[in-house]
Amino acid sequence: MTDRFSVVIPNWNGKRFLAACLNSLRYQTVDDIEVILVDNASADGSQDYIRAEYPEVRLIELEANRGFTGACNIGMDAATGAYIALLNNDTEVERNWAEQVAKAFAEHPQAGIVASKMLLFDQRNRFHTAGDFVATDGRAGNRGAWERDRGQYDKGEYVFSACGGSAVYRRSMLSNIGTLDDDFFFLLEDVDLAWRAQLAGYKVWYEPSAVVYHYLSATGGGVTASYHDGRNGIWLIVKNTPAGLARKYARQIMARQFVLLRDSLKSWRGQEARARLRGMAAGLLTIGGALAKRKRIQASKRVSDDYIDSMLTQA
């Protein structure tokens, strides 16, 4: 292992976005960077385009769509760098992005994850996220989402999670706690990994000088996102919330799930509402698997409930 910076890009029919993403990586200010694109059986010619226009990119072609988690895990397993970034195919990074991330890791040895400053691709003065949060009711979200950039997130700080669209992981941490939970397939897998990192004693540093521009859900969302949000949101809570905090915030957690259920039932004629209901049902029906994973995760816990509580956002 060297100080190489590895970038893993999952791709599914995202050819129209790849030039902006890959051109921005081609001219990074770091010397040793490898780019791995894992293609989820695209049907838009992405594979031939990469081979013809970006020969420096390592292309891994999958025979079926393995989802965000499957593609990312395959790419992370193939990566050789000390730092492994996940980057959405619909992003563009500043020229010094990788350099600033590597500097943040060097300056914050407790950090196992670095979160970038993500701005909207076509509104570059407005946030997608400045690191992610987890609330006491189990909700996960983007800090600063849709806010205009007025300098309010110009200070680096520790946060709970990093958005998987540009999260960067210390390889040594992944070797310890594992990569993404492949059962999640898509959505909240980044927060799930951050939970495991936090419980194991690693921190997440938000680095405002590492800037990424994001189209936002350009190749995902809608009904698929609603289903996985409903299912994965239940798994996220069951797997990761320490028992003491689960008891402390039980009312908040249950109240939020009730509201999600109520609102989905009210809107049941809509496809996304029905998808969320199916997802919530799937989460409950498969709760045994989440509980089995919970046993392993909680056994590796190295921090106090008070510390985790201090990192949560009050609902």
Q: Please report, in tens digits, the pLDDT of each residue of the chain (315 residues total).
A: 458 999 999 999 999 999 999 999 999 999 899 999 999 999 999 999 999 999 999 999 999 999 999 999 999 999 999 999 999 999 999 999 999 999 999 999 999 999 999 999 999 999 999 999 999 999 999 999 999 999 999 999 999 999 999 999 999 999 999 999 999 999 999 999 999 999 999 999 999 999 999 997 654 567 888 999 999 999 999 999 999 999 999 999 999 999 999 999 988 778 999 999 999 999 999 999 999 999 999 999 999 999 999 999 999
DSSP 33-46: EEEEEEE-S-SSSH
103 CA to centre of own chain:
21
Which pair of structure tokens corresponds to residue 110?
Answer: 């407790």
Output the pLDDT for position 1.
44
pLDDT of amino acid 106: 97
β-strand 157-159 against 83-86: which pairing, if any? Answer: unpaired
CB atoms within 10 A of CB 243: 10
Beta-bridge partners for 126? 148
Single pTM value for the model: 0.95
Task: Locate the domains of the chain by residue range.
Answer: 222-311
pLDDT value of residue 217: 60
Cβ atoms of residues 156 and 201 within 8 Å: no
Distance CA 175, CA 178 (A): 6
| Residue of 184, 262, 275, 219 lying closest to 12 (CA atoms) | 219
What is the rounded CA–CA span in Å between residue 6 and residue 40? 19
Collapsed DSSP state (helix, strand, coil) of residue 16: helix
